[in-house]
Amino acid sequence: MNFSENENQKMIAQMIRDFGAKEITPFRKEWDDQSHFPKPLFKKLGELGLMGVLIPTEYGGSGFGYFEYVTAIVELSKLDPSIGLSMAAHNSLCTNHIFMFGNEEQKRKYIPKLASCEWLGAWGLTEPNTGSDAGNMKTVAIKDGDHYVLNGAKNFITHGASGDVAVVIARTGEVGDSHGMTAFVIERGTPGFEGGRKEDKLGMRASETAEMIFTDCRVHESQVLGEVGDGFIQSMKVLDGGRISIAALSLGIAEGALEASIAYSKERHQFNKPISSFQGISFKLADMATQVEASKLLIYKACDLKNRGEKVTLAGAQAKLYASEVCVSVSNEAVQIFGGYGFTKDYPVEKFYRDSKLCTIGEGTSEIQKLVISREILK
């Protein structure tokens, strides 16, 4: 496995840094304070090829692999984790689900618009009472002629109110039956499909999280993705790759917090010395840097497996579990290194700290990752 940064990764990283200096960094505090979702920004990211990173060029995507994809998420997340989160959710969940399981007609219709971000994507699995327990979902789709009628609600959905197209998993069979759920692709404006309450969150405040509500929403059978009853199975495969996205998001937060801490420790003087010269600080930085590097290696291993088309369930879960817990730990230590200033919004680490916690929850909690890992190693 060669994890050396390739030329594409270097190009993507520099492109995002240049773009972010003008389009993200000057506005991130305003977006965070106001919980504002900057949807027009993602059109610009689409023009840069960042909203269809993994999609082949024949469908309007960039045609890159997972190493380039991880680099893009990391660099965006170092600027503003909220933007990294929205970009990752659009790519790995909605767009990827259609690409993996849609028929050719569906791919031709939706993927180019998603890859350019002419349309922003959402993905609906979680419900108010079924997070990790998705098999007991209450949103149902009843067959009525050549249509399905959907009723129910999804919550904690990235772009739930602003997304132009959503992949939605609904129950078409018995409760608890892993083959009793079906995936549908539904366009905004379909009667009976509405955005609901927007969440007021601790962190990731510039990434929209909202409900999707379905009230007698009629969806033509041509909008079914794959086979009827395969929605849950499809979702688990989509989440395998999605965990790499959240691991990359975690890595970006941790790298951002570490870089800020190193710079501050050299500038901040106490007792006539930079605080980096004190062992209490330098040892913190050593631990943080080692944990970040270990996260990167786990993520790159998962990327290598994914690029080679091999099973990534175990590696993806391990990368997501470790990287997400590390980003919380590193962000916490960053606030400590900054001291009182770390508790203010004048410096970036308090935002990394708030944003980091989502990574241990989204796309499968740390506890669910341990369940996945233990099942895989005990087979």
Residues 151 and 143 sit within 8 Å (Cβ to Cβ): no
Model confidence over 221-244: pLDDT tens digits?
Answer: 999 999 999 999 999 999 988 899
What's the pLDDT band for 31 if we cut at 50, 70, 90?
Answer: very high
Contact status, residue 315 vs residue 308, Cβ threshold 8 Å: no
Amino acid occupying residue 28: R
- For β-strands 193-198 and 209-220, DSSP reports them as antiparallel
> Helix (H, G, I), strand (E, B), or coil: what is residue 169?
strand
| Cα(267)–Cα(37) distance, integer angstroms | 34
| Predicted TM-score (pTM) of this structure | 0.96
Tell me how far apart the alpha carbons of residues 211 and 154 are, in angstroms, rounded to a whole number: 5
pLDDT at 288 over 80: yes
- In this predicted structure, the answer to whether residue 1 has a pLDDT above a threshold of 80 is no
Category of 216 on φ-ψ map: left (φ > 0), alpha (ψ -120 to 50) or beta? left
| Tokens read off for 171 | 């129950």
Reported confidence tier of residue 176, pLDDT bands at 50, 70, 90? confident
CA–CA gap between residue 268 and residue 285 (Å, rounded): 15
pLDDT at 179 over 80: yes
Given this model, what pLDDT does residue 130 score? Answer: 87
Determine the average pLDDT of the residues in 163-183: 95
SS3 state at 156:
strand
Give mean pLDDT, residues 244-273.
98
CA dist., res. 362 & res. 44, Å (int): 25
The tokens describing 58, both together, are: 């024949």
Mean local confidence (pLDDT), 255-277 = 98
| Contact predicate 134/126, CB 8 Å | yes
Catalytic pick among 211, 227, 363, 376: 363
Six token digits for residue 320: 């997501």
104 is catalytic: no
- Asked if 253 contacts 359 with a C-beta cutoff of 8 angstroms, the reply is yes
Residue 90's pLDDT is what? 98
Question: Which alpha helices (DSSP H) does 193-278 contain, by range?
Answer: 231-267
More confident residue, 179 or 134: 179
